[in-house]
């Protein structure tokens, strides 16, 4: 059982345990110990988003890493996928991202990448925790010339911009396109406008003036209404909204309608299937993806494999199965042919390439998928129990599943952060599935309800 690491690194309110400078230093020391596996000089890349607390945590991490005799390569504010790319391309031993992604500015987080650019496996995170809490490495103190150094990589942004542009077809450009872009006052505030402008687009920018406290504040992928209004006002071709660390993206079409991650997966999968580029004709999504995605991909000649919620589980399944496209409804999209983690700008470029090559608008492309009506009902519970062990609930769930058949589904799971049971149902008739979901919820509340 992990004590510090969650599904995406260590995260919490900055300057409150475990997101303190003291713990950051300990994490730096543990990481340096794990990745220092020979007599040569070792290097760890550190990057961050634009949060005020990033300075405090960055310096603590650097101190911990250098105190173990490992050098630090600082890249400053850079998207999470950019840090994964720099780690791999510079042949560093590991990468560290200081970010709480889409969370408000007072939160922060620390997540690690292995030298290949992929997130650390659970076993390695457990090893780091064991080193910290057992105090095994407290006495290890390199001295004199063995202490680590810190270097700033001045051209990190340029390197990442060049990489992103290399994923866009060389025979195409974005000249004549008007794009509304919202960078959430986060890590992509320099990178994203540069990429689109250099490819020839006219860019209308939002969320590019970070001040340390305005990251994700009424902007970015959590607030697509900002770009929706701007697209209509400026009569733009589409809108692109990133989150604070730019590993996810949400679009709006030329009419201002939201286009979520499921639609983007359907668009990209259908295009890749036509070009015979989708490995094993398979897309990896999570259990939260709409069943409309399954129908769309099947119609195009492919299939969808589902994982637990979380982009790390999507990536793990992609690597295990040898797949090259995966993602989440929330806008995390992974193109393993190009990068090792979710990348909002890379995703945007793949969609823009399809638009350019086909001559279709985003609204036309999005018609490839018709989402099924979806209902979500939350029930507050006093205790977590496998509801299928309660005969009355199991009988009702089984009866509803039989009535839904192949034209719908039920997903029942506990929240990872709250005492809630989430009942999600999809089907052809929204009125009917709403009625069934409420019926199940009422029975669950009667048996397990907490007030």
Could you list the active site residues? Answer: 101
Can you tell me the distance from the alpha carbon of 140 to that of 258, in angstroms, rounded to the nearest whole number?
Answer: 53
Taking CA atoms, 263 is separated from 16, 267, 270, 304, in Å, by: 38, 6, 11, 13
Q: Are strands 10-13 and 107-114 parallel, antiparallel or unpaired?
A: antiparallel
Q: Could you tell me which of 96, 117, 84, 95 has the C-alpha nearest to residue 54?
A: 96
Q: Would you say 349 and 168 are in contact if contact means Cβ atoms under 8 Å apart?
A: yes
Output b/e per residue, 145-171; b: 16+ Cβ within 10 A. Answer: eeebeeeebeebbebbbebbeebbeee
Q: Could you tell me which of 177, 175, 136, 173 has the C-alpha nearest to residue 34?
A: 136
* H or E stretch covering 421: strand 420-426
Taking CA atoms, 172 is separated from 166, 167, 277, in Å, by: 11, 11, 19
Count of Cβ atoms closer than 10 Å to residue 442 Cβ = 14
Q: Would you say 52 and 105 are in contact if contact means Cβ atoms under 8 Å apart?
A: yes
> How large is the angle between the packed helices 156-166 and 191-198, nearest 10 degrees?
40
Question: How many Cα atoms occupy the beta-carbon half-sphere of 133 within 13 Å?
Answer: 10
Surface-to-core class of residue 178, CB atoms within 10 Å of its CB (0-12 exposed, 13-18 middle, 19+ buried): middle
């Amino acid at each position: 059982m992990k004590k510090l690491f969650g599904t995406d690194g260590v995260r919490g309110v900055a300057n409150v345990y475990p997101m303190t400078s003291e713990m950051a230093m300990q994490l730096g020391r543990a990481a340096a110990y794990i990745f220092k596996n020979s007599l040569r000089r070792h290097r760890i890349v550190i990057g961050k988003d634009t949060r005020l607390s990033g300075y405090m945590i960055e310096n603590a991490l650097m101190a911990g890493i250098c105190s173990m005799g490992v050098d630090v390569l600082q890249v400053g504010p850079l998207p999470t996928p950019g840090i994964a790319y720099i780690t791999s391309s510079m042949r560093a031993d590991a990468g560290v991202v200081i970010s709480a992604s889409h969370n408000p500015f007072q939160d922060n987080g620390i997540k690690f990448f292995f030298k290949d650019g992929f997130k650390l496996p659970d076993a390695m995170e457990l090893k780091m925790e064991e080193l910290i809490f057992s105090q095994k490495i407290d006495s290890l103190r390199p001295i004199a010339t063995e202490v680590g150094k810190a270097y700033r990589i001045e051209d990190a942004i340029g390197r990442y911009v060049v990489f992103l542009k290399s994923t866009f077809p060389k025979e195409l450009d974005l000249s004549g396109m008007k794009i509304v872009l919202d960078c959430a006052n986060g890590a992509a505030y320099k990178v994203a406008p540069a990429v689109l402008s250099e490819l020839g687009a006219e860019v209308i920018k939002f969320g590019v003036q970070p001040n340390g406290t305005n990251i994700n504040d009424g902007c970015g992928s959590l607030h697509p209404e900002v770009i929706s209004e701007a697209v209509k006002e400026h009569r733009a071709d589409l809108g692109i909204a990133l989150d604070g660390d730019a590993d996810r993206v949400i679009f709006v079409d030329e009419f201002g309608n939201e286009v979520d991650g499921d639609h983007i997966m359907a668009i990209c999968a259908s295009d890749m299937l036509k070009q015979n580029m989708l490995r094993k004709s398979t897309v990896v999504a999570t259990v939260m993806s709409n069943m409309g995605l399954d129908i769309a991909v099947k119609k195009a000649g492919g299939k969808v494999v589902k994982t637990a919620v979380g982009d790390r589980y999507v990536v793990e399944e992609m690597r295990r199965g040898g797949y090259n496209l995966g993602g989440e409804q929330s806008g995390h999209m992974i193109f393993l042919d190009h990068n090792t983690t979710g990348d909002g700008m890379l995703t945007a470029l793949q969609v823009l390439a399809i638009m350019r090559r086909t001559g279709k608008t985003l609204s036309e492309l999005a018609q490839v998928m018709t989402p099924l009506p979806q209902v979500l009902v939350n029930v507050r519970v006093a205790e977590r129990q496998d509801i299928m062990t309660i005969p009355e609930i199991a009988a009702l769930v089984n009866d509803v599943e039989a009535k839904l058949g192949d034209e719908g589904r039920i997903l029942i799971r506990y929240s990872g952060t709250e005492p809630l049971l989430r009942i999600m149902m999809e089907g052809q008739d929204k009125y009917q599935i709403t009625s069934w979901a409420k019926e199940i919820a009422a029975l669950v509340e009667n048996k397990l309800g907490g007030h």
